[in-house]
Structure 1
């Protein structure tokens, strides 16, 4: 496993994902400096003791946190991140590598590259939890997970990409590269549309309550687990990647119409064929590890 190639890491946003980076660094024995910023001074005060336990210098003052950092990792929601990029560019050290962990890449990578040039490398760890906040962050969240780097073709420094690859590998992740466009199309299929469908299905059961609460089995529990995620964050993600998500929804609507026809025709063989195809497709996926 490679060493962490940075001595001074700044994390903008210390929630589940950013906090897990900080905890994972300390779990590797990383002895470098970790600073983190949260814009809410009250949140900083409430987390100060926990942050100190992990040797994280926590502040609400962005310039202080970014000062002389050699890696700046952006871990705020997509629209917050987009709004912060001008300040990041203004206060970041000229030699700092800047990256992010947002699950949408097109808009963020384009804007960040325009402001920061070749030293920005988009990234997305394809792992997470319905839990939120620093207290839910885990030192092992990225162990065995896949991280997608999304360099801009002919615009991103290849050495910066390699250093960021080493960084994530030091946290136990597997790293691959995709274009921002390919990433957003893929994640619409594997994450964004599934989250939306789960949210909408549960919302559609509201009119059946009370009455169904004690009749739910493991299927609804497993299908609906992700609905405990942050609705505000997911609204942002879905809006940022709406074109690719809408394309996935069109496919889902088409397939639902086909299945509805099979049900109406009492076509058991056709229905079983669709169910078998779904099972076969699922068996080909390599899901992230499940932690207790």
Structure 2
């Protein structure tokens, strides 16, 4: 299968390498001439433009930052292949590509280094790879084609809607980045705090060291969900404040903290046994909403796993 990858940074470059290693006919493009030369030196075919690169491909994977995406999409005029992406926010991309053959994607993979030089074919092994499945807007055959590609790389494909994805990543990534930034800023006004800080501060502020441009683009691109989840967590913190003002703060606080303590100690959940379910949209969405994922695509069916905790869901 001929597959085009637009954007050859860590994720796009790793995707190019992984697809090439799987035997696909791959071609890449990056706006940076030095990156294009690195990809050519690694033995890959590299196009001279977006239009040239996607011509004749069955799938075009867009691996560029969200602010750049409109420019790339404009160069897809006349392209009738299947388009996917790897952007960390899904709602705006879904809206941008409305009317095209499109399945939004987001591989939850990465490492400390970036760029094509850091790319590796095995980056996606074991990672959760969201593939958006809209009940009224996604072609199931297109979704299954991509799910087959990515599961064969070793990824765990998670089927959810764009809105569900954006809420989840606001909760587990975007808002934590903002909380980490607020905590880390305390170092500027209190040198003593920096001297005393140890493991809990280190773990709670690690992502504050992320490049500000990346965090701003990530949170700003998912603004509605981030704002909603930020308000929810601020409300939870105000409840804790009220507990501290009560007559027995230690006992009340212990009761409040028990559930989150148990939840964190039980994470990540143990995967259950593989099972086979119909490859239809309602069953796939139920799977994703219950925390499950696809491990293999078969004709008309998919092999899946669910977290052990799924047995307790209503």
Kindly report the root-mean-square deviation, in angstroms, between the aligned alpha carbons of the 2 structures: 2.4
Q: How does 1:103-142 map to 2 (within 5 A)?
A: 103-114=88-99, 116=100, 119-142=101-124
Quick one: distance in 2 between partners of 1:198 and 1:122? 28
User: Aligned in 2, Cα 1:182/1:226: closer, same or farther, shift over 3 Å?
Assistant: same
Alpha-carbon contact 1:98-1:121 (below 8 Å) kept: yes
Quick one: distance in 2 between partners of 1:150 and 1:239? 20
Deviation at 1:199, TM superposition (A): 2.3
Equivalence for 1:224: 205
Equivalence for 1:167: 149
Indicate which of 3, 20, 29 corresponds to 1:9: 3
1:19 counterpart = 2:8: no
Equivalence for 1:187: 169
Quick one: distance in 2 between partners of 1:255 and 1:155? 36
Task: Name the SS of the counterpart of 1:88 in structure 2.
Answer: coil
- Which has the higher relative contact order, 1 or 2, with Cα contacts under 8 A spaced 6 or more apart? 1
TM-score (structure 2 length as normaliser): 0.77
Q: CA offsets per residue over residues 54-78 of structure 1, 9 Å max, x none? A: 4323455222221212111111111
User: Aligned in 2, Cα 1:279/1:170: closer, same or farther, shift over 3 Å?
Assistant: same
Equivalence for 1:98: 83
Alpha-carbon contact 1:12-1:38 (below 8 Å) kept: yes
Q: CA offsets per residue over residues 120-139 of structure 1, 9 Å max, x none? A: 11111123335432233333
1:147 counterpart = 2:135: no
Equivalence for 1:36: 28
Single out whichever of 31-40 and 169-178 deviates more from structure 2. Answer: 31-40
User: Aligned in 2, Cα 1:227/1:17: closer, same or farther, shift over 3 Å?
Assistant: farther
Quick one: distance in 2 between partners of 1:254 and 1:157? 39
User: Aligned in 2, Cα 1:89/1:285: closer, same or farther, shift over 3 Å?
Assistant: farther
Deviation at 1:163, TM superposition (A): 0.3
User: Aligned in 2, Cα 1:38/1:204: closer, same or farther, shift over 3 Å?
Assistant: farther
Quick one: distance in 1 between partners of 2:195 and 2:43? 45
Quick one: distance in 1 between partners of 2:113 and 2:175? 19
Equivalence for 2:231: 250
Alpha-carbon contact 2:50-2:72 (below 8 Å) kept: no
Q: CA offsets per residue over residues 109-153 of structure 1, 9 Å max, x none? A: 122123x2xx21111112333543223333332111111111332
Aligned residues: 269
Quick one: distance in 1 between partners of 2:55 and 2:237? 53
Task: Name the SS of the counterpart of 1:69 in structure 2.
Answer: coil
Which structure 2 residue ranges, 5 or more long, are not aligned?
270-314
Which structure 1 residue ranges, 5 or more long, are not aligned?
1-6, 288-292
Quick one: distance in 1 between partners of 2:233 and 2:202? 21
Equivalence for 1:205: 187
TM-score (structure 1 length as normaliser): 0.82
